[in-house]
Structures are given as C-alpha cells and as structure tokens.
Amino acid sequence: QIVPISPTEQTFTFDIKDLHTETVSKAAKVVKRPTKIVIKRKAHPLILAYRITTHKSQGQTLRKIFVDLVTPPGPVEVASVYVPLSRIKRLDDLLIVRLFNFSSLQVKPTEAQMEELNRLNKIAIKTRKTFSYYLDYSYCIVTLFDYNNCTIKY
C-alpha cells in the first residue's frame, strides 16, 4: 500500500538582529530597514530515523524508539525482548509497532545461562566472605534470585 506524503507549508518570522547583533543593528539603523523577516518554507514532513539491531542497542540509552517484538521463528533469547524494552527512560518514549505474542516476554533463561549465574553468585559469595572487613553492611545490598525451580540465596 502506498501512502502519499504531501509537502506542507510553514511560515514564521525571524529577527535577524539575533544573528550578529552589532553589525545588523548598525546596518538597520543606517538604512532604516526592519530587522524582522518573514520566511515561508515548503517541505515534506519527514523526520530522519535509523534502525539498529537489538544486539547493537545493548548498553545504549535512546530517546524514543519504535520496537517490533514479533520474534522470528526458532528459539527466543531472553535479551531479544528485554534489551529493546530497557533502552528508554520513560514508557512514553516507547512505541510497539504491532501486536506480538505475550509469551515472548516470559522467556526463561537457558540452562547454560543459569549455570553462569550460579557460578557468578558463588564467586560473589566467596568475595564477600573473603573481603567482609572492607564492606559496610549497612550499605551492602544482597540480591535474591528466584526463578521457578532454580533458587540462589546468600
């Protein structure tokens, strides 16, 4: 389907004194001309945009995003949905472009990912025990990770 985009016309006034205050002001006084000009502009109402993959967007904070949460056939990775949804600061800056299957938001970590989380948590526990005298426990936040059958607790 082709959607026509017609050019729009916009008119605005600009005070040229704001450009080079001294030079323009002097010239306007000498020549006795007004410093305000009316500008009429005709253009297609388009906003430049670009697209990036979920992988490329990792670690970035974006101002506004359009997200397609329909995942391709095959196994769905946890990050393929979480990463694009977490790139913005406010929910108002997110536009989901089409309906998607809600189950794509309920992806469980793979066994390999759980093993890695367990390994990292064991290292964290050992580090806390080894260097406990450096920690001020009033500021130490201990996290609990509980995901259905898998539980990691300190």
Q: Which residues constitute the domain of residue 37?
A: 8-43
Q: Which of the two residues, 10 and 80, has the higher pLDDT score?
A: 10
Note whether residue 93 is domain-resident.
yes
Q: Which of the two residues, 16 and 117, has the higher pLDDT score?
A: 117
Task: Judge contact between 65 and 95, C-beta under 8 A.
Answer: yes
Predicted model pTM = 0.46
Q: What one-character DSSP code corresponds to residue 16?
A: G
Note whether residue 70 is domain-resident.
yes
Tally Cβ neighbours within 10 Å of residue 81.
19
Q: Which of the two residues, 51 and 34, has the higher pLDDT score?
A: 51
What pLDDT is recorded for position 146? 46
Count: domains in the chain: 3
Question: Is the same domain home to 118 and 99?
Answer: no
Helix (H) or strand (E) holding 65, with range, is strand 65-67
Condensed to tens digits (0 to 9), the pLDDT of residues 26-36 reads 666 666 667 78
- Tell me how far apart the alpha carbons of residues 75 and 80 are, in angstroms, rounded to a whole number: 10
Mean pLDDT rounded to a whole number for the chain = 79
